[in-house]
Amino acid sequence: MSDLTALTAVELQAALAAGETSSVEVTRAHLDRIAAEDGALGAFLHVTADAALARAAEVDASGTAGTGLAGIPVALKDVFVTEGVPTTSGSRILEGWRPPYSATVASRLADAGTVLLGKTNMDEFAMGSSTENSAYAVTRNPWDHDRIPGGSSGGSSAAVAGRLAPLALGTDTGGSIRQPAAVTGLVGHKPTYGSVSRYGLIAFSSSLDQAGPMARTVLDAALLHEAIGGHDPRDSTSIDAPVPTVVEAARRGAGGDLSGLRVGVVRELGGEGAREGYEQGVLDRFAEGVALLEAAGAQVREVSCPSFGLALPAYYLIAPSEASSNLARFEGMRFGIRVGDDGSHDVDEVMALTREQGFGPEVKRRIILGTYALSAGYYEAYYGQAQKVRTLISRDFSAAYDDVDVLVSPTSPTVAWPIGARVEDPLAMYAADLCTLPASLAGVPAISVPCGLSDGLPVGLQVMAPALADDRCYRVAAAVEAALGAPLTDRLLERAA
């Protein structure tokens, strides 16, 4: 075989099934590329090379390679707990922790025969849009090493776009799968809230967190989605419903026929009168993407969702509030680092010192924000009010879905920005999530699919669907992908050649 790292998961599946290669060869090719490239890219926090090769050999020996995802390597965002494998959530406070158990999605991937390559970098506790908030490393965008790979799942986006892994899992709380996918030219899907287990996903904001696939093609993403989805009795918020048939939807969409499909373009997300902060190149590529949908037979109309403009402030009250509570368990008593336990500090001081030194500035900022928003006397004005906005946003979606089957918008208002450009300006950083937040707050599925380049950098188109209609996202995304001719990341290959 030629370069195995250039193949999509679907192509690898075929090659494995045909016996043209082995899981060990595929795994080794990716490990070699990690060894060669990751020093510059910084996608991985931990590479499980030996375990990966051993696992690949096992899969080869079992004769299952090529069935489903068996034998295909994957990377996991370091937010997923993996038994015996260091798990940090990008935070110093968990340095050295080897969990005694595995996340449900990690177990499902293992059961499916995938080969874990390692754990990818991320913004600390998934708080950020550039992966610059990682306590450990700067991750670079494979399209331009001076730019951010998006975040918080930036290690996963860089790994897949940089061909260090064919597939990766990310998590999305306010856009952390879709935005990094958009700025690195990948497909990234945030499933319906509750349709993928959160058990073993280190919580940032419990009512928003969802795990989802990141891949170079829509079909690859769909394969990974089906492998991780479905009810989990360990997650009380998990929906007991069949996994949407997203693979079939992706294949169907690739046929390029969207006749009869009603598409709504959200005015409040980059439309007339709501273009502040949006780059012209992004708006142009998005408009072209919408034109492609129309050309494929979709009926396109503009739709207004007036409450979407309130998503950002609501999100930055709800997510930090839940985070302030979710992160309380990191106090140095049972796992991770412990600071000040030298006999001169009491237990309260040890907890405080551990948190002082273990958490980075963005995490502290959000803990303080959330603690304040939940305080007696402020709860109703902040957390309570934000929950009401959330209801309004859900109503906007419901009303819109009376008239259209899916909603579309740009995924991110801008392309990848230079590393360091927004570090001193949290509000500019938060604005990166403008388009992705409404679907997060409403719990509905949303996908980002590449729709071209602006100044040589990828632009993403977001497709949102009603809850549990994830298949629509895949169908529309596949149609866009088919209309563009080839995966956007192929341009990176051409550039390298």
Q: Binding residues for other proteins, per CB under 8 A? A: 80-81, 87, 89, 94, 97, 99-101, 103, 198-203, 205-207, 233-237, 321-322, 324-325, 327-331, 333-335, 347-348, 351, 371, 374-376, 379, 383
Closest to other proteins by CB, 199 vs 286, is 199
State the minimum distance, in angstroms, from the CB of residue 85 to other proteins.
13
| Partner residues linked to 118 by β-bridges | 47, 75
The backbone torsions φ and ψ at residue 208, rounded to the nearest 5 degrees and listed phi first, read: -125, -30
Task: Judge whether 156 and 139 are in contact, CB under 8 Å.
Answer: no
Q: What is the C-alpha separation between 8 and 219, in angstroms, rounded?
A: 9
**Helices (DSSP H) in 206-298: which residue ranges?**
218-228, 246-254, 280-295
* Distance linking the first and last C-alpha atoms of the chain: 17
State the minimum distance, in angstroms, from the CB of residue 52 to other proteins.
22
State the minimum distance, in angstroms, from the CB of residue 231 to other proteins.
12
**Helices (DSSP H) in 127-243: which residue ranges?**
154-161, 178-184, 218-228
Q: What is the C-alpha separation between 189 and 192, in angstroms, rounded?
A: 9
Q: For tokens 């090529």, what's the residue?
A: 66
Closest to other proteins by CB, 207 vs 304, is 207
**Helices (DSSP H) in 123-217: which residue ranges?**
154-161, 178-184
Closest to other proteins by CB, 101 vs 111, is 101
Catalytic residues: 77, 152, 176
Closest to other proteins by CB, 57 vs 97, is 97
Task: Judge whether 467 and 444 are in contact, CB under 8 Å.
Answer: yes
Q: What is the C-alpha separation between 117 and 183, in angstroms, rounded?
A: 23
With vertex at residue 14, the alpha carbon angle to CA 10 and CA 17, rounded to the nearest 5 degrees, is 135
Among the listed residues 105, 114, 103, the one whose alpha carbon sits nearest the alpha carbon of residue 65: 114
Closest to other proteins by CB, 327 vs 467, is 327
Looking at residue 6, the DSSP 8-state letter turns out to be: G
Task: Judge whether 145 and 38 are in contact, CB under 8 Å.
Answer: no
35 three-state secondary structure:
helix
Closest to other proteins by CB, 272 vs 348, is 348
Closest to other proteins by CB, 15 vs 437, is 437
State the minimum distance, in angstroms, from the CB of residue 416 to other proteins.
29
Task: Judge whether 462 and 476 are in contact, CB under 8 Å.
Answer: no
Q: List all residues 6 or more positions away from 427 whose beta carbon is below 8 Å from its beta carbon.
A: none
Among the listed residues 49, 174, 182, the one whose alpha carbon sits nearest the alpha carbon of residue 115: 49
